Amino acid sequence: MSSAVSVRGIRKKYSRRAADHLGYGVRDLLAEILGRRRTQELRPDEFWAVDDVSFEIDNGASFALVGRNGSGKSTLLKLIAGLIRPEAGTIHTRGRIQALIALGAGFNPLLSGRENVFVAGALLGLSRQQTEGLLDAIIDFAEIGDFIDSPVRTYSSGMYARLGFSLAVNLEPDVLLIDEILSVGDFGFQNKCFGRLSQLKKNGITIVLVSHSHTRIIQLCDRALWLHDGKPREIGGAQDVVRSYLDFLDVEKTSATLKPAAKPDAKPAAKPAPATKEAPAQKAAPASDAGESPYGPIHPGDGMVDDVTVEIAHQGLAGGLPMHTQLRLRFSFRLLREVDGLNVTFAFYRVDGLHLTSISTLNGDLAGAIHGGRVEGEIEIDDLHLVPGHYVVVMPIHERHSYLYRGTVAEFVVRGDGALTWGLTDFPHRIEIRRS
Amino acid sequence: MGPSEAIYSAESQARSPGRTLAAMLGGLRSGRYMGYRLFLRDIRGDYARSRFAVIWDFAEPLVIALVFVSLYQSGVISSGDIDIPYPAFVAFGVLLWQTFVDAITLPLEVPRASRNLITQLKIAPESLLIAVFLRVGFSALFRIAVLLLVALWTNTFHPLGFAAFVALFPALIVCGMAIGVLLAPFNTLYADVGRVVRIVLRPLMFATPVLWAIPRFNFFSYALVLNPAATLITNLRALATQAVLPEPLLLVVTSGVMGVVFVLGWFVFHVSIPILAERV
């Protein structure tokens, strides 16, 4: 089978501070005009955005580029599309290539959707007759009905993107390059776009996909390349490469976290945290001032609560908690005054601030009136069915519904076991397939 | 290599002049409809925001012309040695000059204005040039209509001369575009280039036979030889109003030189787009 795309030893460099080095552009431009080779050396503030990448994509195959933001995926896609030139190496493409780097390229917001379809069609290489032939299909697919004759500036962002995508996927080029545009519109439209791409694949169109949706990659693509800091890290079957990449992300998160809960709302602990055989305890120190955090308001507990300690009791905590493990949280704090109606809550957040759930004594008024002094307790979670990720525990201590203290008391990482997961939780489940 | 095959490498396109020239001509062919659509898009976009977009294209030069006609009639300025009524002289001068200025300044901004296109779509650079040419030509059509009325009003209308004037008018646009297209990539990297061009153009109008005839046998008459706008304006104006070409040889030489500059500018523009796509 012949290759639709052949990439050999490609290198591409960029400047981190292009505005400070306008001269680089002029020098590169003059080199191009005068027939000289652009310098292979890295000048100050330059870096290799794509560094020595080689691969082949067979005709009709679907190929994914994965990697973190800034790993060089989009740059590589632009190189394949011929939008920018490499510093070294060769790219050979066969067939009509169409790049979907962004949706609605060439649209004028003052013109109607219909007029913009003709503009964009021309930019994608269609004649007027060809665009007219596709117009109904484009309008139908975009689901914008009578709005096709309204100025594009009146469209919602979803409508705008739907029209752009609809135009692009109705063309059927030989090679389709897609840069992270499958997240447009609502979920229904995303599925529709994905279905259309699957159809294009069945029609024998070669697809090169850049996406952070690992599910989509596995479903659509045969092979994948994982780029890391511009360098190829792994190339192979899409599922294997995505799994390696996700494992890498898990390990990276684990090594970057699991330190004492030194959050913006916390000061260094006054006393060493009590050590256990199972895992180091995490000392929660009161914040100096009340304020906001990604996890809600912070109350340092001045004059009401001190010496808050929370311990995640689990062996091997430092390496990350396995999925579906049993989790125990032991807590201890000292009340500095009499409290009538004490309650303790543990709020679980994803590290980006998404509130997942809370476990609280408010549901049973378990503590009641307490005349000051030390309070200790334990929470047991039988099955921690969170997907792999980095999580934060916030502990409010309150008198009825008024905060006495509220601060970040623990962080933990859930590591994957090799199985693919999606969303927020991984329900304990059993799948049975019956064949008739 | 098949027609739909492409090879991208680090090698400069200038090292394969034959292939680059073929790509330029191919872009001219394939970019015609694309350029036309881009032109329509821009024109319709302008009209969507302005009821009098056409008028603004020639309002400023006409106001300048009216001011100078008033100054001339009140004896404040002298026209120099001219063979046609001053209103016709100055109207032709300013409207031709404005077209020349548009043809220089519009291409200057094209790569930056087309940022979304050149960074997201593989389009023929020639389509951008065609769109600019049509945009300047569109404005010129209305200016030519105004000049036709001026010629009729001042009894300087010669049907054959005016027809030849219209036929040669694109040479003025190509001449201006030659400079604009050549400098456009550099202006995209350094906006200072465009500022310098605009600063130079304003006084250059007074050193060009736009508002008055430049006397022969002084410094400016020699400088005029190097000023392509002077040659083109002088000859086009005389052709339209008197059906004569006062400096045919100079016109041919100027057009030839500017034609070479245009091809050079076109080449520079063509090979620079991938470089600019990284930096706009």
For A363: left if phi > 0, alpha if psi spans -120 to 50, otherwise beta; the answer is: alpha
Contact A80, B6 (CB under 8 A): no
What pLDDT is recorded for position B45? 85
How does A236-245 read in b/e, with b if 16+ C-beta sit within 10 Å?
Answer: eebbebbbbb
- The mean of the pLDDT values for chain A is 82
Residue whose token pair is 């821009």: B42
**Chain B residues within an 8 Å CB radius of A151:** 48
Contact A26 B186 (CB under 8 A): yes
How many angstroms separate the CA of residue A233 from the nearest CA in chain B?
23
Nearest chain A residue to B268 by CA distance is A33
Chain B residues close to A128, C-beta within 8 Å:
33
Confidence of residue A285 (pLDDT cuts 50, 70, 90): very low
A74 to A10, A100, A107, A430: CA distances (angstroms):
14, 11, 21, 39
| Residue in chain A nearest B264 by alpha carbon | A33
Enumerate the residues of chain B whose CB falls inside 8 A of the CB of residue A125.
30, 34
B33: in domain: yes
Q: Provide mean pLDDT across the span B126-134.
A: 97
Q: Does residue B201 lie within any of the structural domains?
A: yes
- Residue A15 burial (10 A CB sphere; 0-12, 13-18, 19+): buried
Three-state DSSP at A306 gives: strand
> What range defines the domain where residue B108 resides?
15-279
Nearest CB partner across the interface for B120, out of A36, A101, A116: A101
Per-residue pLDDT, B223: 64
pLDDT value at residue B225 = 67
Is B8–A118 a contact, with Cβ atoms under 8 angstroms apart?
no
pLDDT value at position B181?
97
- Taking the model in full, what pTM does it have? 0.74
CA-wise closest residue to B279 among A24, A45, A33, A39 = A24
The SS3 of residue A124 is: coil
Size of interface A-B (CB pairs under 8 A): 150
Task: Measure CA B249 to chain center.
Answer: 21
Indicate the range of A121-130, A143-152, A210-219 predicted with least confidence. Answer: A210-219
Nearby residues of A226 by Cβ (< 8 Å), 6 or more positions away? A66, A67, A232, A233, A234, A235, A241, A244, A245
| Helix, strand or coil, per DSSP, at residue A414 | strand
Place of tokens 């330029």: B24
> Is residue B30 in some structural domain?
yes
**CA–CA separation, B226 and A323 (whole Å):** 80
What is the interface pTM, i.e. ipTM, of the complex? 0.85
- Residues with Cβ within 8 Å of B168's Cβ and at least 6 positions away in sequence, in order, are B236, B239
**Any domain includes B2:** no
Q: In whole angstroms, give the CA distance from residue B114 to residue A251.
A: 43
More confident: B56 or A13 = A13
CB contact under 8 A, A99 and B278: no
Pairing of strands A368-370, A339-350: antiparallel
Q: Is residue B183 part of a domain?
A: yes
Better-predicted residue by pLDDT, A189 or A239? A239
Is the CB of residue A167 less than 8 Å from the CB of residue A117?
A: yes
Closest listed residue to residue A330, CA positions, set A373, A274, A385, A372: A274
Crossing angle for the helix pair B53-73 and B86-108, nearest 10 degrees? 140
pLDDT of residue B219: 62
* Structural contact between residues B8 and A95, judged by C-beta atoms closer than 8 angstroms: no
* B275 neighbourhood in chain A, CB within 8 Å: 25, 28-29, 32, 85
Instruction: Tell me whether strands A355-360 and A325-335 are parallel, antiparallel or unpaired.
Output: unpaired
Euclidean distance between CA atoms B263 and B267, whole angstroms: 6
pLDDT score, position A293:
64
Residues of chain A found within 8 Å of residue B10, distances taken between Cβ atoms: 37-38, 85-89
Q: How confident is the model at residue A264 (pLDDT cuts 50, 70, 90)?
A: very low
List, in order, residues 6 or more apart from B183 with CB less than 8 Å away: B108, B193, B194, B197, B265
Query: What average pLDDT does range B177-194 have in this prediction?
Result: 95
Out of A102-106, A305-309, A379-383, B174-178, least confident range: A102-106
Distance separating alpha carbons of residues A274 and A333, to the nearest angstrom: 13
User: Does any domain span residue B112?
Assistant: yes
User: Which sign does the torsion angle of CA B50, B133, B37, A93 carry?
Assistant: negative
Tell me: the pLDDT tens digits for A298-308?
Answer: 777 777 888 88
Q: Report yes or no on B234 lying in a domain.
A: yes
Chain A positions touching B272 (Cβ under 8 A) are 29, 32-33
Count of C-beta atoms within a 10 Å radius of residue A137: 13
Residue with tokens 């109904």: A136
Percentage of residues in chain B having pLDDT higher than 70: 95
How many CA atoms lie within 13 Å of B214's alpha carbon, on the beta-carbon side? Answer: 22
Q: What is the DSSP letter of B191?
A: T
Stretch A159-183: mean pLDDT, rounded?
A: 82
How many domains is chain B built from?
Answer: 1
Q: How far is B245 from chain A (nearest CA, A)?
A: 38
* Phi, psi (deg, nearest 5) at residue A99: -105, 130
**What does the block give as tokens for B265?**
């500018």
B71 vs A118, more confident: A118
A27 Cβ contact list (under 8 Å, min separation 6): A39
Helices vs. strands in chain A: H and E counts, helices first: 8, 21
**For residue B8, is it within any domain?**
no
Counting DSSP H helices and E strands in chain B, the numbers are 11, 1
Q: What is the pLDDT of residues A93-140, one digit of tens each?
A: 999 898 888 777 888 888 999 999 999 899 888 899 999 999 998 998
DSSP state of A289: S
- For A85, which of B8, B119, B190 is closest by C-beta distance? B8
